[in-house]
Amino acid sequence: MFRRPTVAVAATACAVLLTTTTGCSSGFDKNKSGPKQDEGGKQTLRILFATSGDAETNAVKKATAAWEKKSGHKVTVQIAKDIDQQLGQAFAGDSPPDAFYVNSDQFANYAKGGSLYAYGDKIPDAEEFEPQLRKTFTHNGKLVCLPKDSSTLGLAINTKLWKEAGLTSADYPTTWAELEKTAKKLTSGNVTGLVTTNEFQRLGTFMRQSGGWITNGSESKMTADTKENARALSFVKKLLRSGSTKYAAQIDTEWAGEALGKNKAGMVIEGNWLAGGMKHDYPDTKYKVVPLPAGPAGKGTLAFTNCWGVAKASTHQAAAVDLVRHLTSTKQQLASSDAIGVMPSRTDALKTFAEQNPESKAWVAGSAYGQGPVTVPGFTKVLDQFNTDMQNLRTGNPGEILSTLQRNGEQAIKKGN
């Protein structure tokens, strides 16, 4: 579960190498076949993953234990304190785990550096996974790793504050104009109408709704400095200047979910990880999730995911792939959804999830049109700067912000190709 799927601020040892050289060492020439594989019947694998808490930790341990019993292999489970840093150090030191979580923003760095074993062609039912999620983890035309789950953004409404403002279900905003009007009506005293975070991982939704995005579909060209994106940021700036919209930090909260739970926000833009956070931290706060309002170009939301990577330097690749197939099976994805709150990345499992969790209907619907992350090698610093600039959007110049993003992105794409 992600509460704030942001771009990492600090570059890892591997990521730094990948942006300046051909990639991290893998202990062998990446153009050759790789290390000699262990074909024994009883192998011991290491996996590394980041966890959102006890629920996710226990879910992974339970799933790997079931695979151990079925396969006869053993799995050593390691919980990461900083997954990007630890993976970077492991790749650089030629001692990576066999399987591990890969953040979408770091995927291209690892793939370009030759650190990942591309096992997509070993998965018979790979097309059962959501197309946009598969695209996120495709490099040089090959599906490198399977998305382990999925998340999208929706508009969560505090039903208590909604009712107190004299609003009904007929007032759920479906357009930018309605969102602006509703945010203003909800704003009163200590309540802010709309709360979000100062990062493109939320505000990028307005770019998509306006018909824009950071790059073209193939991520070969920057498309940041456009009238569509300028229109989106100008609208957000208008909301911020009106006082009806604020960043979570402006109202002394760490994330929008906290603002919703503490009755400081009438509406928030958040993903389906919100469900677990509210259940755990604010069980008495009632809320309703609806689709994000459409913009001039129509609907738009963002999609987030991680994948299960397998190390190219692993001597247990076949076993690791079999483990990943188990962990991403329909049965295991539904079990993880029940335990953690994330949505499945498989189309069949997502359909079942939607039937079992009607309150998540808006998030599920977003899977059909969600925009995936930018996966250009070395793009992390570009997005870090964009997020820094977005902090000052209220008083800043949208055109200048986008011009900087365009310029920085063009340099990154040139280096990444």
Do 108 and 20 reside in the same domain of the chain? yes
pTM of this prediction? Answer: 0.86
Other C-beta atoms within 10 Å of 306: how many?
Answer: 29
Do 144 and 266 reside in the same domain of the chain? no
Do 221 and 254 reside in the same domain of the chain? yes
How many CA atoms, within 13 angstroms, populate the side-chain half-sphere of residue 351?
5
Do 218 and 319 reside in the same domain of the chain? no
- Predicted confidence at residue 198, as pLDDT, reads 93
For residue 201, being part of any structural domain is answered with: yes
**CATH assignment at residue 223:** 3.40.190.10
Rounded CA gap, 104 and 137, in Å?
7
157 vs 248, 288, 289, 329, CA distance in Å? 15, 5, 6, 33
How many domains are there within the chain? 2
- Is there a contact between 139 and 118 (Cβ–Cβ < 8 Å)? yes
In this structure, the strands spanning 138-139 and 146-147 are unpaired
- Predicted confidence at residue 27, as pLDDT, reads 38
Do 335 and 407 reside in the same domain of the chain? no
The helix (run of H) or strand (run of E) holding residue 383 is helix 380-390
Rounded CA gap, 18 and 379, in Å?
11
Spatial CA neighbour of 4 closest among 273, 210, 280:
273
- Predicted confidence at residue 273, as pLDDT, reads 87
Which residue range is the domain that position 367 belongs to? 13-150+305-371
Do 176 and 257 reside in the same domain of the chain? yes
For residue 26, being part of any structural domain is answered with: yes
Do 242 and 317 reside in the same domain of the chain? no
Do 270 and 332 reside in the same domain of the chain? no
Which residues fall within 8 angstroms of residue 27, CB to CB, at 6 or more apart?
A: 35, 94, 313
Do 48 and 137 reside in the same domain of the chain? yes
Do 266 and 319 reside in the same domain of the chain? no
- Predicted confidence at residue 12, as pLDDT, reads 37
- Is there a contact between 201 and 276 (Cβ–Cβ < 8 Å)? no
Q: Mean pLDDT for each 10-residue chunk of the chain (417 residues)?
A: 38 37 39 78 95 87 96 96 93 94 92 96 96 92 96 97 97 98 97 96 97 96 98 98 97 96 98 88 96 98 95 97 97 89 92 94 94 91 96 96 98 87
Do 338 and 394 reside in the same domain of the chain? no
Do 277 and 409 reside in the same domain of the chain? yes
Last residue of a domain, one of 351, 371, 391: 371
How many CA atoms, within 13 angstroms, populate the side-chain half-sphere of residue 47?
29
In this structure, the strands spanning 151-158 and 301-304 are antiparallel
